[in-house]
Amino acid sequence: MLRHTENSQNQAAPEAGKADVVDPAPDEPEVDGALGVDTAARLDEAILGGARRYTLSELIERTGLSQEFIESYWRWMGLPVTHPTERWFTDADEIALREIAELFETEQMDHRAQMTFVRSMGHTTERLALWQVEALVEHFARRHELDDASARLLALDQLPPLAETLGRQLEHAWRRQLAALTGRMAIEFAGARAGEPTDSHQLPLPRAVGFADIVSFTKRTAGLGSAELAEFVQRFEAGARDVITTAGGRVVKTIGDAVLFVADDVTTGAEVALGLAESTARALGTAGPEDAEIPVRVGFVWGRVLSRFGDVFGPSVNLASRLTELAEPSSVLVDTSTATQLATSSRYALTAQPEQDVPGIGPLVPVRLQRAYAG
């Protein structure tokens, strides 16, 4: 229910201790407590663009939205739901809630769609904020030779003036990504006809999907400190992204020592996979001076996937992951179906490997993918 009604206004305030209500924090030690509170309040107002002026009850009155909707929106954003008597909401919060409620009503979105939309914003921006703050802390620590705590305090001072610029950059980047996505969709589905029957049991999107990971990652990173580990992972991710995007693929996500990628056709997928396998960790920027090579291994499959929550799902994703585990250093493995798709091209050499019994999948014949060299 989006709109506030007389009955919803008269609802009893949530009881203290409910999972979605944040009670006032217990007393903190007084050492530097006042300074910390003052600093937090100053940063809060500067970043939010104004003071927290309204209680939940006042926001309900001002927007005409129901308490249920406002609390749901806040939870979906990944933020704590305030106590009804605490002044928590800003003018910008009021505007945002009005706009999103109007969008939901105009588009007649059901509860599931509303939740997905808001969670996508909350999840993405939470990770983005953490990523950018940590990058700033790391920058100040290196530039000024500071310890971690000092670098964080300096970052706190610098964040308010940076917030406006970062916000504009975020909107620009989002629009560019949205334009790229809609452009791909327009081309891919140009020949599709509305109302054409589809197989409801078939996943909707044909995609090349693959994993690449660093061989012996645990052994390589066992002796690294936090700064060295962060640099190692960051360089691998940045280098892998460069290889993937240059070949025409897209990064779905990174998971520590591994990266998940997709491509819109099987040949592009093969070029991405081979590009990653041919790029040792030194080429990706992760090898230290004592390392000659840190190989990458890749598993890649052509199949159908479901795209949800900024991720991809389906049997082909699981199969690509298992093939990666089976691959030798600096090599690419595909399944027989993908090998058949690639066999028509003279650019590739395909070599069947011994059959293996893979838990959860069954008998599997991996096929090694290599470039075909004339000569």
Domain that holds residue 80: 6-23+33-127+158-179
In the numeric block, the tokens 């001002």 are attached to 62
Could you tell me which of 310, 340, 361 has the C-alpha nearest to residue 125?
310
Question: Does 15 share its domain with 163?
Answer: yes
Q: Using a CB cutoff of 8 Å and minimum separation of 24, what contacts does 239-244 make? A: 239/279, 239/281, 239/283, 239/284, 239/285, 239/286, 240/212, 240/276, 240/279, 240/284, 240/296, 243/272, 243/275, 243/276, 243/279, 243/284, 244/272, 244/275, 244/276
164 and 224 inside one domain = no
Are residue 230 and residue 319 in the same domain, yes or no? yes
Taking all residues of the chain, what is their mean pLDDT, rounded to a whole number? 85
Residue 8 has pLDDT above 50, yes or no: no
Q: What is the predicted pLDDT for the residue at 287?
A: 52
In which band, very low, low, confident or very high, does the pLDDT at 288 lie, cut at 50, 70 and 90?
A: low
Together in a domain, 169 and 223: no
Categorize the per-residue pLDDT at 281 as very low, low, confident or very high, splitting at 50, 70 and 90.
very low
Q: What global pTM score does this model have? A: 0.69
- Residue 5 pLDDT > 70: no
Q: Is the confidence at residue 206, as pLDDT, over 80?
A: yes
SS3 240: helix
In a shared domain, residues 237 and 326: yes
Measured CA to CA, the distance from residue 212 to residue 333 in angstroms comes to 11
Task: Give the pLDDT confidence score for residue 1 in this predicted structure.
Answer: 62
Beta bridge partners of 71: none
- pLDDT exceeds cutoff 60 at 123: yes
Same domain? For 264 and 174 the reply is no
Q: Position 347: which residue type?
A: R
Distances (CA, A) of 190 to 186, 197, 266, 269, 306: 6, 16, 19, 22, 20
Please tell me the predicted confidence (pLDDT) of residue 198.
58
Residue 149, both tokens: 């705590």
Backbone angles phi, psi at 312, to 5 degrees: -125, 145
Domain count, the chain: 2
Count of alpha carbons within 13 angstroms of residue 67, beta-carbon side: 20
Enter the tokens of residue 176: 């560019």
Kindly state whether residues 226 and 354 are assigned to the same domain. yes
Q: What digits encode the pLDDT tens for the residues 104-121? A: 999 999 999 999 999 999
Nearest to 360 by CA among 329, 298, 306, 317: 317
Residue 105 region, left (φ>0) first, then alpha (ψ -120 to 50), else beta? alpha
| Confidence band of 195 (pLDDT split at 50, 70, 90) | low
Do 163 and 210 sit in the same domain of this protein? no
The answer to whether position 143 is within a domain reads no
Q: Are residues 175 and 267 in the same domain?
A: no
Same domain flag for 175 and 311: no
Flag whether 137 is in a domain: no
Is pLDDT of 283 > 70?
Answer: no
243 pLDDT higher than 80 = yes
More confident of the two residues 212 and 13 = 212
pLDDT at 228 over 90: no
Distances (CA, A) of 347 to 275, 334, 343, 375: 14, 15, 9, 13
Convert the pLDDT of each residue in 35-83 to its tens digit. 567 788 889 999 999 999 999 999 999 999 999 999 999 999 999 887 8
Predicted confidence (pLDDT) at residue 289 exceeds the cutoff of 50: no
Examine the pLDDT at 171 and tell me if it is beyond 70. yes
59 plus 116 within the same structural domain: yes
Q: Give the percent of the chain with pLDDT over 90.
A: 61
Q: Residue 153: inside a domain, yes or no? A: no
Residue 141 lies in a domain: no
pLDDT for residue 16 is more than 80: no
Residues in the chain: 375
Same domain, 163 and 254: no
